Structure 1
Amino acid sequence: MQQKLIYILFIFASVISYGQVNLFMESDKAEYNGKDIVNLTIILELNGVDLEPQTRFQLPDLSKFTIIGSGSVTNTLIDPATNTLVTQKVSRIALEPKKKGKIKIGSVLVTVNNKIYKTEPFDVNIKDVVEKRSLATNISSEMYLNMEIEDREVYQDQPTVAVLRVYSKNMDNFRKVKDVRLPRQDNINVHPISFTKSEIDPSGAGNMASQIVAVFMVFPNEAGYVDVPSVSASVSSYSNKNKIVSNRVKLNVKKLPEGSPEYFKNAVGNFSVNVYNASKDKIEVEKPINVIIKVSGEGNLPDMYLPKIVSSPDYEVFSPKITSKVAPGTTGMKGEIFANYVVIPKKAGPISIQTEPFAFFDPASREYVDLGQKTLALNAFSHDQILESRTTVEKVNEYTNTLLETVNTPVLKTTTFKVKEKSKFHWNILLTNIAILIGLFIVYLLFKTWQKKRALVRETTSPKPLGSVAETEREIRETLKTDINDYFSYLENLKDNGDYEKFFDTLEEMDLEVRKQYLQSSSDDFRIRLESDKGSSVAEEYRNLSQRIQMEKYSPLKSAEGMEELLKAVVNLYSRISK
């Protein structure tokens, strides 16, 4: 009887161990500083074949934290001691605390075989929390900046969009916000999208109105937790000038997946590579040609490593000149990058110019794309082959060009243009050359006569007195004076035609001409000169207009109404300051 009882107890013990469920949650530590990340680890162990979770982990209320990252992994093994299947599911959650003090973290729930299991709640102590905004000393209760990044979990070198908002109780403060300075840090690359101010939203947080003052892209170039530094802006008024600073934002930057090609560097996005010869003439040995590698697409285009031309004994290659046409897109910087190489062929015959292998990571498909090498096939000729391949007309043109480049006097000998008789003499060519020579000779005589008359006028004219410094400066200004109305008409035409790139280039040219009238080369010196000549209000208006021009120039979207208002402001100011 006693042996039967022991046998029954062993059976119950094996059944219990066979169907055991363990669920628990823990944090990496009990106390945290304000800058620390709270890491929660949730572990679910299932000992048995018939155990299967019916629901996912049901998290507790985490509204006092900001979830900046999460991940999970499932492991399966066989316990050699009990010969049972053990399934272990581990999840980790990274939290950023919003407030200080003791915070209770509730239970995690999961349903296994129609039975609910939960973890024990526990407390974490947050000593201090960095404020989400840094306020100017004298307007701290009225105004602050806030940097908002919605997507805080990205891959390395993948962009995320940051929006900078200014909050204020007084709507008059919005027009005082100027000189937004984007963050700079070694582990991030920042590219502006727009500095155009949005419409004022009266329904902001804390009964404060808000306005977007800047939008920019952040490209983190290292994995892990990356802090985006604060953005600063100045708040200017007639009495004083203050500086306000935004909050910092922490990003959870995921490392790129394993299995990248050996020659993968840092290209993240979607790209294509093309290589072509920009020189239109025949390729000659020991003569340079222009070979261009064009990388187009969308992603971290301005910051990635471009494929280079591979060295070869068949040609000599020099460092490229990099040019770009890039603008903000939906998933990164979009456009084209050109690497212009100077290549000198070393031998005649077929030449194969190859680029380095190129690969990129596509975040949309989460896969690496291998574009391999690009090859440009060329055929180089020797100097003798080039000469033999030329037609008679090309040889005559080259001979004529050489003659015109080496002649030092406008009086040309007619024998130079004599056509050697082969089978037939071309009288039309000879008569044409004679007419050209007679015309050049008449022009030469007229030029000499004009020079003599000009010399006589100079001799009879009495020299003018030097005059004072003020008179000399006035004369210089008269020589430098430009009709500003011509610029206004030209700018109006460019605006109506939608040629905004030429519009802003003309604005810079007009600004330079007006500065020359004041004998000032730099904008800062010109603003100081305006303040002394026209007053501080005009100088401040010039500074504000210059900043507005720069913001409109680099804005990806330009409206006809905005350009019309900008042109009116330009005409209003420059018509007053132009001499």
Structure 2
Amino acid sequence: MKQKIIYILLTFASVITYGQVELYMKPDKSDYNAKDIVNLTIVLELNGENLVQQSKIQLPDLSKFNIIGNGSFNQAVRDAESNVAVDQYITRIALEPKQRGKIRIGSVLVTVNNKIYKTEPFDIFIRDVEKKSVAKNTDHDVFLNMEIEDREIYQDQPTVAVLRVYSKSMDNLRKVRNIHLPEKEDLDVHPISFQKSEIDPAGYGNMPSQILAMFIVFPNESGFVEVPSVSASVNSYSSKNKIVSNKVKLNVKKLPEGSPESFKNAVGNFKVDMYHEAKEKIEAKKPVNVFLKVSGEGNLSNMELPKIESSPDYEIFAPKITTNLKAGIEGLKGYVLANYVLIPNKSGNLDIKTEEFAFFNPDNKEYVNLGKETLHLKAFSHDQVLEARSTVEKVNEYTNTLLETVNSPVLKTTTFKVKEKSRFNWKALFINGGILLGLFLLYLIFKNWQKKRIIVKEKNTPKDLGSVAETEREIRESLKTDLGDYFTYLENLKDSHDFDQFFKTVDELDAEVRNQYFQSSKDDFKQFLESYKGNAVAEEYRNLSQRIQIEKYTPVKSEEGIGELLKDIINLYSKISK
């Protein structure tokens, strides 16, 4: 009786093992930060030949996530001990959480041989989720996003805005053109750069992204100020469509109270200089150029400049304003130059003063009063200017006056005027430099022509064909694959996150190595490895091929996983190629 019971139990156990179904789901970890992606792996194993999957894998409720990627892969594996076929169906899903806190992920369901199998639910914890507003163009799957980190600033204080474009297709990123920065009455916008950055393959939602432009914004009013959308166009061969970015609200604070009377609207860090460049003596009743320069960093483009005070000692005219500004990530830098024309009304000492100038420094949150700037000049009468001239200068002036007033109709005497200053002949310098450069280029062309003649002579010299063995050895050397170049290229692709090209290069490497041993297919190559390299190398090659296929179709790839795979590729193919 006992023997019958044991026989029945053994038979029942063999039936269970013969038709075993295993279904499980697991995350890559249980605790996530704000910008992490939740990666779920679902594995269905059918251990037996009579098992039939009657339904698709039914996912749980994932409404608390954004599904940003998924992929499936199946493989057939035969258990070496039991010699039973095991079918594995692997599905990976990449999720982006919409909320923070503890989130429960329900069960996965599947029906096999009229029986429903399910996984156990589990909880994950999301620490924080950063909400980003992204303007979307559903027709072309292109997104524009305007990012401003510093949104709480003072009035007339600059803040930097970055315009990014997102798309699931990298080809769409290259089609974005005609960027128009926002325009508004209470805003001053200055571009920093329209140079596109390198494409980031893992941007928001793991979509490729690229920086299109950077610009700075100066709000002229306090309160909540809205920065309008940035527009651009997506150009294709068949159409041209307009896309817009999101809008950003700024909290513009009022400037602190207690500003000095000389404060107008200057916000930043500045200094004021006033100077006179002419080397000749200043003569009364003749114009003089005086320069007032405000330099530093801040709202230089729209600030009110200090003026030169009027005085009975001189007459002053409206200045000519020139600017030299450069927009950077810290604001506008450079200077504003006001060129004043003054006419002294008398000879003697002149004290030219500016108005008081004050500005608000947002870094220190305080007002700075620079006071007045004073320039001391001395004007001379006409007689004093003549007396101060040397004998040579007097003779030159007399000669010029004579030649200007007495002009011969035969010989144009005004061309013989004596110049006060001799100028350097830049035209002759450039011509001589061009001649020297041309001679140098001709010399380089001649040397290159000589080298080519020598190479042609060496190629025309007949070489010894050698023996049959030597020729065969040369053919084998020519077919040998340079694995070092492949390994270096794969390392660069891993570092740049170009995983699609990475797996294409791995396939090319495998084909080159098989060609080295004159094996066209992978199955023939596996048999070749078993015969000439041993079962261990052949099994290692088989397992590595399966790993490559799994990683290739994984929706979200990690640099660490690709790095481990690359190490195994280098080790195995180095063994095979020896």
Q: TM-score, normalised by structure 1?
A: 0.48
Larger Rg: 2
